[in-house]
Amino acid sequence: MSVLVLAEHDNATIKPSTLNTVTAALELGGEVVALVAGHNCKAAAEAAAKVKDVSKVLHADDAAFGAHIAENVAPLVAKLAQGHSHVLAPASTYGKNIMPRAAALLDVAQISDIAGIESADTFVRPIYAGNALATVQSKDAIKAITVRTTAFDAAPAEGGSAAIESVGGTGDAGLTSFLRLEQVKSERPELTTARIVISGGRGMQAGENFKMLEEIADTLKAAVGASRAAVDAGFVPNDYQVGQTGKIVAPELYIAVGISGAIQHLAGMKDSKVIVAINKDEEAPIFQVADYGLVADLFKALPELAAELKK
C-alpha cells in the first residue's frame, strides 16, 4: 500500500494543510509519497522532503503548473496515482478544485472531506453541514480522498529526509489561464491554522466595526473570521468566511461576536476546543454550542474585552 499526497504549496513553501494531509496518509499505513507540482517550486519540494515520515517527493516543475490550474494538474495527478492505493489532497479550495477532476480521469469516486479513518477503505465524513456523520466504504481500486485538515494533527515539518525525484509534466491543456489573485494582505495568523479565532457576524453592523475585533485579535495573536451574513453584507472579504461552504476551523479558542449561529456557520467552527459567544439575543442558537456565553451588546462588551485582555 502506498499513498500519494497532493501537496498544497505556493511554489516556495508548503501550506500547513499539506502537513495535516500527510498525517491522514500515515494513518492509512504504508509509504507516503508527496507530489509537489508547480513552477520553480524546488524550494517547496525540498520543504516537503523534510516533513517527517514522507518517503519520497515527486517534483513536477512546469510553467503549466505554476498557478495550480486544475486542467493542467489533474492529468498529472491521475497519471501518478496509478500504482498507489490512495491519493489524498487537503479539502481546501486547492484540493477541492483539482482532486475531483483527477478522480474522474481515473474513473473512481472521490470521498470528500474525510474527518476519520476506520480502515484502508472505510472513512468517516460529515454530511448535511456536519449534522450527521457518515461512515462510507470505497469499492474503487484507487481511493481518491480530500481531507478535512482540522480533523488531523499537522505532521512535523522537520525530521524527514525524503529523496526528491523529478517527474515529467503532462503540459498545458490550453484551456484555462490564470490572470490574477486579489489578496488581502494580513499580518495576522491564517484563519485555518490560528490558535485563536475571533469572528464577527451581522451584529457587527458595518465593516469598520471589525476594527474592534482586529484590536482584540492583535492582543491575542488571533485570526479574524466572519459569518456568511457579514461577508454577504460586504463587511469583510470572502476569505474571512467560516462555515459549511467557507473555511472549516477548529482553534483552541473561538470567539463568536454578533453571530446568531445558523447551522451553516456552526458547521465551520463547532469542533473548536473552547467556544465563546457574545450576543445580545439570549435565544441565539450560538449559545447552545458555546462553553461561555455572554449576553451583552457587543458595542459595549468589545471595548471592555479589549481593555480586560490588556490587564
Partner 1 sequence: MKILVPVKRVVDANIKVRVKSDGTGVETQNVKMSMNPFCEIAVEEALRLKEAGKATEIVAVSCGPTACQETIRTALAMGADRGILVETDVPLEPLAIAKLLKAVAGKESPGLMLLGKQAIDNDCNQTGQMLAALLGWSQATFVSKLAIEADHAEATREVDGGLEVVKVKLPAIVTVDLRLNEPRYASLPNIMKAKKKPIDVLKPDALGVDVTPRVAVLKVVEPPKRSSGVKVPDVATLVAKLRTEAKVI
Is 164 strand, coil or helix?
strand
Residue 7 vs 162, nearer CB to partner 1 = 7
Q: Alpha-carbon distance 210 to 223, whole Å?
A: 12
Contact letters for partner 1, residues 254-293 (x by CB under 8 A):
---------xx-----x--xxxx-----x----xxxxxxx
Q: Report the nearest approach of partner 1 to the CB of residue 220 (Å).
A: 6
Tell me if 196 contacts partner 1 by CB under 8 A.
Answer: yes
Tell me if 178 contacts partner 1 by CB under 8 A.
Answer: yes
Q: Report the nearest approach of partner 1 to the CB of residue 7 (Å).
A: 15
Helix axes 16-28, 93-106, angle to 10 degrees: 40
Choice from 43, 105, 157, 167 touching partner 1 (CB under 8 A): 105
Q: How far is CA 227 from CA 60, 91, 100, 170, 190, in A?
A: 38, 20, 27, 40, 16
Q: Alpha-carbon distance 93 to 90, whole Å?
A: 8
Tell me if 206 contacts partner 1 by CB under 8 A.
Answer: no
Residues 6-65 that bind partner 1 (CB under 8 A): none
Q: Report the nearest approach of partner 1 to the CB of residue 22 (Å).
A: 18
Choice from 27, 153, 252, 297 touching partner 1 (CB under 8 A): 252
Closest residue by Cα to residue 229 from 159, 295, 279, 303: 279
- Please, which residues bridge with residue 56 across strands? 33, 163
Q: Alpha-carbon distance 16 to 297, whole Å?
A: 36
Choice from 244, 256, 259, 268 touching partner 1 (CB under 8 A): 244
Tell me if 200 contacts partner 1 by CB under 8 A.
Answer: no
